[in-house]
Chain A
Amino acid sequence: MAHRIAGKKELGPDVFWARIEAPLIAKARQPGQFIILSINNDYSERIPLTIAGADPSDGTIELIWQRVGKTTAELADLAEGDEIANISGPLGTPTHIANFASVICVGGGIGAAPLLPIATALKSAGNRVVSILGFRSKDRLILEEEFARISDELIVTTDDGSYARKALVTEPLAEVCGRDPKPGHAFIIGPTIMMKFCCGVTRKFDVPTQVSLNTIMIDGTGMCGGCRVEVDGKPKFVCVDGPEFDGHRVNFDLMIKRMNAYKPQEQQAHEQYEQHRCRIGLDE
């Protein structure tokens, strides 16, 4: 059963959003969970993407991704009405939603996408929600309105100052953590390096912190162990033990290195794909 793309748009440079038919996943998914997709059957790779939203009534899920490698590029080049051969999920342990009185949610880049359903659920659970969204520049800004709607307070930053406050997210994060009373819990999703530095801040203020990891995976069901990270010095599988972990216990440095394990091959595949795409473009 292939999955039709019901809607698709470009949110910013190389950032895409799509609504995709996947009725069973739309019904079952909970905040914090992800899917694994492969575009075609035989030679495509399988990549994990966190579910940004879902509508069980029309049986669709929302994905947001950045064009960084071959598969995300290929996905970006699909149009409304095209089909994705394989989507499996929802995978991973759902986020533990509770009332912590007040929470701080930090999203970096497209990390804002998987953070939105979590922040929404935290708000519904009665938390005071402070959200911090950080982007490289104004044109990469996503989900500002959506976060404004469910947050009691929203702070937006850009690295270059082209929009809102010029800062890295760690700066307002430290300010919010320094308030009295401090947030009961922090939820951080974004690039690994960002999560690492944010965890440095929340550790300093002793704010319990949840991070959502997006490592390399194949099956997503615990079978391969390729996604393993060190948590408290012990190997944990992101797919079945996570994807969320206590950010203060994750070995981010090792995780970053494992994420880069196939960098040259990934670049090669991406370049080949873009060249091929250009050639097709020229032939037309």
Chain B
Amino acid sequence: MTHEQRQELLESLLAKQKAGALKPRDRFDIPPQDMPEQDAAVRRRNVHEVALGYTETQARLEAMRCLQCKTAPCVRGCPVRIRIPDFVAAIAEGQYGRALDIIKENSLLPAVCGRVCPQEVQCQETCTVGLRFKDVSKAVSIGRLERFVADLGHNGAAAPAVAPPTGKKIAIVGSGPGGIVAAADTRRAGHDVTVFEAFHKPGGVMVYGIPEFRLPKAIVHDEIETLKTMGVRIVPNFIVGRTRTIEQLMTEDGFDAVYIGVGAGLPSFMGIEGESLVGVYSANEYLTRANLMKAYSFGSGADTPIAVSRRVAVVGGGNVAMDAARTAVRLGAEKVYLIYRRTEKEMPARVEEVHHAQQEGIEFHLLQSPIRIVGDENSRATAIECLRYELGEPDDSGRRRPVAIAGSEFRIDIDTVIIAIGNQANPLIRQTTLSLEFNKWGNLVVDENCRTTMPGVYAGGDIVLGAATVILAMGQGRIAAAAINSDLADEPQ
């Protein structure tokens, strides 16, 4: 469809609507709007964002596909309950500022969530339009619409208003998505808020983990700037637990409440032979080198090196695995294999990332799992040995359990292996805060309002949930902030 055709269609639909003659039938007939993207062959050689964003006409057409269901099943699918039909209707009417305001009632980071939320298993999964076509990919593209208004409004958006000072001090530990939301929400209530970040730059996983081609760093930077404009202090290079303990923050430094949003941050390995060979990375390390430390500019500015790889095997099927594989492509690898022990259907990655990875030439090795990494006399990885699997009975997670096929071993020659099978809970807070209760997986125990077992200390995101998503971390940051605000208001002055 050309731009002119889209424009024509939009005008005819608007005219029909004005005449009160627009039927659901007409909405079903609007073709789902594809996201304009950088060509796969071109983007393999750059780190710029892959998805380019809707044009205004595309956004309005896509918004008009929405049936405005009274029951709003999409809202039930959204972890932070954004009033989706209302903001989509505003876009259809061309009221972009209003659309953004509606989103911002519930979500602070629409430019981020529009890009990284797994919409197909959240709001879009339950969309009536998608159900009508029996195809979730034909649901209204709520995420793309969210991104459209967020990007439009990005520069003009004023920082949220801040209530008069309460005299209470809040410490936010970690500047990832949960920390940003908790900081903003507690600051809005008038508290004095300080965010402590262990790295030299704030943003957490959005800066070290999610690559530029999926989430431009400028967007994260702007969100952090908004926090600063609100008067939130950001302290980098500060490791809570080591630089100061939580007890010290509360008893000596005068903080009335602490929110722990440190993420999962302890990469899991498989426990197979050869995992410590040279050339074997955790996805965290590989992505941190490439993103935060800018290793793609090694030799032309950046000091941090990264493996110069020809053949890379990435192990895992989540977003992080896709990010690592696609980063390897951009760093010049000739062949990138993605090894996953189930099938594409069970992959936890966003569908869009899976498609993008395939378009970029990443070779999927499904129903396979490594049993050993082989090295040469210099302990450099040279091959990965795998077993083939078949799907058996469903396991606890409802996914069919992969069962190894005896005698199916085979080898793939590689020089780099990236393990992207998830994270365990980081032990730093546990090692240094003895009065907090952790569960057997090392995750913090909290109540439904994100209160930990230590008075005045709250927690959310991956350190509570295990590996989750940006939006779930944000949702918990919001719950915790509400609890902090109400608990502090109840306290005698």
Asked whether, in the complex, the Cβ of A86 is within 8 Å of the Cβ of B285, the reply is no
Say yes or no: is B199 at the interface (Cβ < 8 Å to chain A). yes
**Complex partner residue of A261 from B278, B282, B298, B303, CB under 8 angstroms:** B278
Chain A residues near B279 (CB-CB < 8 A): 261
Say yes or no: is B43 at the interface (Cβ < 8 Å to chain A). no
**Complex partner residue of B378 from A85, A222, A226, A257, CB under 8 angstroms:** A257
Asked whether, in the complex, the Cβ of B379 is within 8 Å of the Cβ of A258, the reply is yes
Query: Which residues of B421-435 are within 8 A (CB) of A?
Result: 426-428, 431
> With contacts A219-B198, A258-B379 known, is A28 near B243, CB below 8 A?
yes
Asked whether, in the complex, the Cβ of A218 is within 8 Å of the Cβ of B294, the reply is no
Task: Name which of B264-272, B347-355, B362-370 contacts chain A.
Answer: B264-272
Asked whether, in the complex, the Cβ of A240 is within 8 Å of the Cβ of B428, the reply is yes
The CA of A204 and the CA of B289, in the complex, are separated in Å by 41
**What's the tally of chain B residues with a CB closer than 8 Å to chain A?**
48
> With contacts A89-B242, A90-B242, A93-B431 known, is A43 near B303, CB below 8 A?
yes
Asked whether, in the complex, the Cβ of B269 is within 8 Å of the Cβ of A235, the reply is yes
The CA of A254 and the CA of B237, in the complex, are separated in Å by 31
The CA of A261 and the CA of B266, in the complex, are separated in Å by 22
Task: Name which of A121-129, A176-184, A205-213, A266-274 contacts chain B.
Answer: A266-274
> With contacts A219-B199, A258-B379, A266-B305 known, is A88 near B288, CB below 8 A?
no
Chain B residues near A85 (CB-CB < 8 A): 200
Asked whether, in the complex, the Cβ of A43 is within 8 Å of the Cβ of B294, the reply is yes
Chain B residues near A98 (CB-CB < 8 A): none
**Complex partner residue of A225 from B282, B305, B380, CB under 8 angstroms:** B282
| Most central of A38, A224, A240 by chain B CB within 10 Å | A224
Say yes or no: is B281 at the interface (Cβ < 8 Å to chain A). yes
Say yes or no: is B38 at the interface (Cβ < 8 Å to chain A). no
Query: Which residues of B209-256 are within 8 A (CB) of A?
Result: 235-239, 242-244
Say yes or no: is A248 at the interface (Cβ < 8 Å to chain B). no
Chain A residues near B107 (CB-CB < 8 A): none
Query: Looking across the interface, which residue of chain A has its beta carbon closest to that of B263?
Result: A223
> With contacts A87-B237, A265-B298 known, is A221 near B305, CB below 8 A?
no
Q: How far is the CB of B439 from chain A (nearest CB, A)?
A: 18
**Complex partner residue of A228 from B200, B243, B276, CB under 8 angstroms:** B276
Q: How far is the CB of B323 from chain A (nearest CB, A)?
A: 15
**Complex partner residue of B269 from A42, A45, A225, CB under 8 angstroms:** A225
Asked whether, in the complex, the Cβ of A240 is within 8 Å of the Cβ of B299, the reply is no
Chain A residues near B265 (CB-CB < 8 A): 221-223
Asked whether, in the complex, the Cβ of A218 is within 8 Å of the Cβ of B426, the reply is no
Asked whether, in the complex, the Cβ of A235 is within 8 Å of the Cβ of B275, the reply is yes
The CA of A262 and the CA of B278, in the complex, are separated in Å by 9
> With contacts A219-B198, A224-B285, A261-B279 known, is A90 near B266, CB below 8 A?
no
**How many residue pairs bridge A and B at CB < 8 Å?**
131
> With contacts A88-B198, A225-B269, A235-B276 known, is A262 near B305, CB below 8 A?
yes
Say yes or no: is B297 at the interface (Cβ < 8 Å to chain A). yes
Asked whether, in the complex, the Cβ of A221 is within 8 Å of the Cβ of B237, the reply is no
Asked whether, in the complex, the Cβ of A221 is within 8 Å of the Cβ of B282, the reply is no
Chain B residues near A229 (CB-CB < 8 A): 276
The CA of A110 and the CA of B114, in the complex, are separated in Å by 51
Asked whether, in the complex, the Cβ of A224 is within 8 Å of the Cβ of B288, the reply is yes
Chain A residues near B293 (CB-CB < 8 A): 45-46, 218
Chain B residues near A223 (CB-CB < 8 A): 208, 263, 265-267, 284, 288, 426
Say yes or no: is A68 at the interface (Cβ < 8 Å to chain B). no
Query: Which residues of B359-414 are within 8 A (CB) of A?
Result: 378-380
Say yes or no: is B69 at the interface (Cβ < 8 Å to chain A). no
Say yes or no: is B9 at the interface (Cβ < 8 Å to chain A). no
> With contacts A224-B285, A224-B288, A226-B285 known, is A88 near B301, CB below 8 A?
no
> With contacts A225-B285, A240-B428 known, is A89 near B239, CB below 8 A?
yes
Q: How far is the CB of A100 from chain B (nearest CB, A)?
A: 24
Asked whether, in the complex, the Cβ of A222 is within 8 Å of the Cβ of B244, the reply is no
> With contacts A87-B237, A88-B243, A224-B288 known, is A42 near B379, CB below 8 A?
no
Query: Looking across the interface, which residue of chain A has its beta carbon closest to that of B299?
Result: A268
Say yes or no: is A44 at the interface (Cβ < 8 Å to chain B). yes
Say yes or no: is A19 at the interface (Cβ < 8 Å to chain B). no
Say yes or no: is A199 at the interface (Cβ < 8 Å to chain B). no
Query: Looking across the interface, which residue of chain A has its beta carbon closest to that of B264?
Result: A223
The CA of A45 and the CA of B263, in the complex, are separated in Å by 23
Chain B residues near A88 (CB-CB < 8 A): 198-200, 236-239, 243
Asked whether, in the complex, the Cβ of A86 is within 8 Å of the Cβ of B303, the reply is no
Query: Which residues of A43-58 are within 8 A (CB) of B?
Result: 43-46
Chain B residues near A105 (CB-CB < 8 A): none
Chain A residues near B266 (CB-CB < 8 A): 222-223, 225, 237, 240
Query: Looking across the interface, which residue of chain B has its beta carbon closest to that of A226?
Result: B285
Say yes or no: is B302 at the interface (Cβ < 8 Å to chain A). yes
Say yes or no: is A91 at the interface (Cβ < 8 Å to chain B). yes
Say yes or no: is A196 at the interface (Cβ < 8 Å to chain B). no
Query: Looking across the interface, which residue of chain B has its beta carbon closest to that of A236?
Result: B276
The CA of A86 and the CA of B307, in the complex, are separated in Å by 25
**Complex partner residue of B243 from A25, A224, A235, CB under 8 angstroms:** A25
Say yes or no: is A202 at the interface (Cβ < 8 Å to chain B). no
Asked whether, in the complex, the Cβ of A43 is within 8 Å of the Cβ of B297, the reply is yes
> With contacts A235-B269, A254-B379 known, is A218 near B289, CB below 8 A?
yes
* A–B pairs, 26, beta carbons within 8 Å: A24-B243, A25-B243, A28-B242, A28-B243, A42-B294, A45-B302, A46-B200, A86-B237, A88-B200, A90-B242, A90-B243, A218-B293, A223-B288, A224-B267, A224-B284, A225-B269, A226-B282, A228-B276, A235-B276, A240-B426, A240-B427, A261-B279, A261-B307, A265-B299, A265-B305, A269-B299
**In the complex, the 5 A-B pairs of residues with the closest C-beta atoms, listed nearest first:** A265-B305, A224-B285, A45-B303, A88-B237, A257-B379
| Interface, chain A (partner B; CB < 8 A) | 1, 24-25, 28, 38, 41-46, 70-71, 85-91, 93, 218-219, 221-226, 228-230, 235, 237, 240, 251, 253-254, 257-258, 260-262, 265-266, 268-269, 272
Beyond contacts A224-B267, A224-B285: 9 other A-B pairs, Cβ-Cβ < 8 A, are: A42-B294, A88-B237, A89-B239, A90-B243, A218-B304, A221-B426, A235-B269, A258-B276, A265-B305
